[in-house]
Amino acid sequence: MFSPTQHGESMLKKKDEFEDILEERRNSSDLRYALRSYTPPLYKEVTPATANELKDMVLQSDPLCFVVRQVSTESGRPVDEVQAEASAILEEMAHGLQLSTVRFFAFTLSKVFKTLFRSIHVNEDGIQRLQQAVQENPVVLLPSHRSYLDFLLMSYILYTYDTPLPVIAAGMDFMGMKMVGEMLRKSGAFFIRRSFGGDKLYWAVFSEYVQTLLKKGYAPIEFFLEGTRSRTSKSLTPKLGLLNVVLEPFFKGEVYDVTLLPVSISYERILEESLYARELLGVPKPKESTSGLFKARKVLSEDYGSIHVYFGQPVSVRKLSEGRVKRSQFNLMPRHIPKRPGEDINKVVIELAYQLVQNQQANMVLNPFVLLATLLLQNHHQSLASGQKPGMKLQELTDRALWLRDLSRLFGACLQWPDDRPPAEVVSSSLRLHPGLVTISEGRVQLALHQASSPEEELFNQAVIILSCVSYRNQMLHVFVGPALVASAMNISSSTQKNEIANSHSFLRNMFFHEFILCPGGTNQDLSMSFDLLEKARALDVFSHHVLVPEEGHRTLSFLSSLLDPFLQGYQMVCRFVPDVRKFIVKQILAGRLKYSEVLSSDLQKNALAALSRLGAVQKIKGASQGNLKVNKVMVNWLEDTLGEKEAA
């Protein structure tokens, strides 16, 4: 198993210098910037092919011609007809990169970014590593995905630093946007379906197109390993389809190496925060359209703070798979004939995917509001449980934020907290950036929850605010999830014996496998690292067979376990009311029997159902409508009991 890289990467990035690329844009001509000389370094001095030359290579390739003949034989259709279909698929899919369109976006985005953001910080050491890598091997860029802006931002940065522009995998929904879809194509986007199903011809065209781009090294390939935007700001379980496609040429010996480069994009304020919260509450996602884009212009009047973009360490697939993969397996038949990879390759790809997402997480830059949202959410939930007045005095919030700041740094977080400014000023400035989420009245800070005409409407409005704050809290969960699992395991097991804590930890880790990025097979290693961190924080004294909680450790353990409480309660609710969970949760909240509104999140409910399915507690009935499940009541009840004490029904 690959060794975790979080702490090594964290130490590295503290040496990297960040530069604000908007500073120069504010002091010089945007038009001159857009029209400047653009001469990026080339892969082995290869001149990039035109879009039409690339399409001809794909259509004439042996792998695609083989599948065309195969589909013709299986379907009884003429070869020419299948070939024409393949050509139409490629025409719909392929990028049409034009430098003139890139220059237009460079000019336009300069105006937009200067309006929306105070700064865009980029680690220049990472850019230099990328510029060196693109000259040596095919490069695959793997950014985190939290906003529609991600792929525009990536191309803008690479153009700024005279680095080869990527070709970018984009969903078909963007292609349907009048004018904008075609402009995205001309700036390097290629469009793919969200799902291929069993369409053998589409898969062949897609994989050959991507692999031709990669093998020829004409441009870096960029895609989102998580597959889609995260609506919760938690990293999503990596999708392996496109990763398998870009790695196959290496495993077949068609390229010497492939360089994978994780990129972490951190937003101080997310443009889509309210939209995401509503989606999680069941409001349908607005369809991508040009008119919708123009209607969204009102966002230009708001302040979205800063962005940090960290280009991570290049990952050599050759080095990581050395001694673990038998590439000779592809010599047993002609390489243009499709062949499923062996178990050794599947294992390497899965472990590599999780390592890359963990690298993205490790290099995320956390802003002060992440800490403040976490503390205000915990205060809100504690106030509901105790009946006390919600909110905190500004000084109390500042004191707690400083404590959490120090704990975060101790656990390896990369925290953007300006130590040269008074703490109260840092807190106040951060709160002012989020006026829709928090209110400050008479020196008291609390979530911006307002009354409505009906209990249901009030619950919905409050849930939007809470889920928006949750999206900021979630940005720091990767820092604490290991120790938090241990703290919750201690509560569930009611024990200080290490073997009993380990059993409960293993259960929770298995249960939350879809909720957090937890590497398969890494349970024991995670537990050991978490014990080390808790000892370092003086929250636990760890001995051979047991642990002790020193007096100063109770605060840390209480904070950590409360981070997972909403997930524990949410999974309990899903166990209790599967499959009609949402309407029962609403009833429980309105009746005051459930304090965590974030349990209404469709993402949490989906992950809980995935866990129940994987553990054999529920099973989808074949041929039945969506949501029709066969429930193993004994198993579900056991899981609910194990997650914690049942609340009064």
- Left, alpha or beta for 546 (phi > 0: left; psi -120 to 50: alpha)? beta
Q: Is residue 260 part of a domain?
A: yes
Verify cis geometry, omega within 30 degrees of 0, for the bond prior to 579.
yes
269, 329: one domain: yes
543, 603: one domain: yes
Label residue 443 exposed, middle or buried (CB < 10 Å: 0-12, 13-18, 19+).
exposed
Q: Is residue 4 part of a domain?
A: no
Residue 332, classed as helix, strand or coil, is helix
Cα–Cα distance, 573 to 640 (Å, whole number): 8
Give tens-digit pLDDT for 312-369. Answer: 999 999 999 998 887 776 766 676 777 777 888 999 999 999 999 999 999 999 999 9
Q: Is residue 319 part of a domain?
A: yes
What are φ and ψ of residue 416, in 5° steps?
-90, 75
- Left, alpha or beta for 264 (phi > 0: left; psi -120 to 50: alpha)? beta
DSSP state, residue 231: S
Q: What is the CATH number of the domain that holds 398?
A: 1.10.10
Give tens-digit pLDDT for 11-54. Answer: 334 457 899 999 999 999 999 999 999 999 888 767 778 888 99
Query: How many domains would you assign to the chain?
Result: 3
pLDDT at position 506 is: 96
Splitting the chain (649 residues) into consecutive groups of 10 residues, what average pLDDT does each group show? Answer: 41 66 95 95 80 92 94 95 96 92 96 96 96 95 95 96 95 76 91 84 95 89 95 95 94 93 97 92 68 57 94 95 80 71 89 96 97 96 85 95 97 94 96 95 88 86 95 97 97 94 96 95 96 97 96 96 95 84 86 88 93 90 67 91 60
Cα–Cα distance, 227 to 144 (Å, whole number): 10
Please name every residue paired with 541 in a beta bridge, in sequence order, or none if there are none: 548
pLDDT at position 3 is: 42
389, 254: one domain: no
What are φ and ψ of residue 347, in 5° steps?
-65, -45
Residue 324, classed as helix, strand or coil, is coil
Structure tokens, 236? 């999503």
132, 275: one domain: yes
Q: What is the residue range of 141's domain?
A: 18-363
32, 147: one domain: yes
pLDDT at position 648 is: 35
Look at the pTM and tell me if it is higher than 0.75. yes
Residues 263 and 168: beta-carbon distance below 8 Å: no
**CA angle, 440 then 442 then 444, to 5°:** 50
Cα–Cα distance, 361 to 10 (Å, whole number): 10
Cα–Cα distance, 518 to 478 (Å, whole number): 10
436, 528: one domain: no
**Residue whose C-alpha is closest to residue 45's, from 225, 165, 218:** 218
- Domain final residue, candidates 308, 330, 363: 363
**Residue whose C-alpha is closest to residue 148's, from 311, 271, 268, 284:** 271
**CA angle, 91 then 92 then 98, to 5°:** 70
Q: Is residue 2 part of a domain?
A: no
Cα–Cα distance, 19 to 310 (Å, whole number): 11
313, 459: one domain: no
DSSP state, residue 327: G
How far apart, in Å, do the first and last CA atoms of the chain sit?
44
Residue 196, classed as helix, strand or coil, is coil
Q: Is residue 341 part of a domain?
A: yes
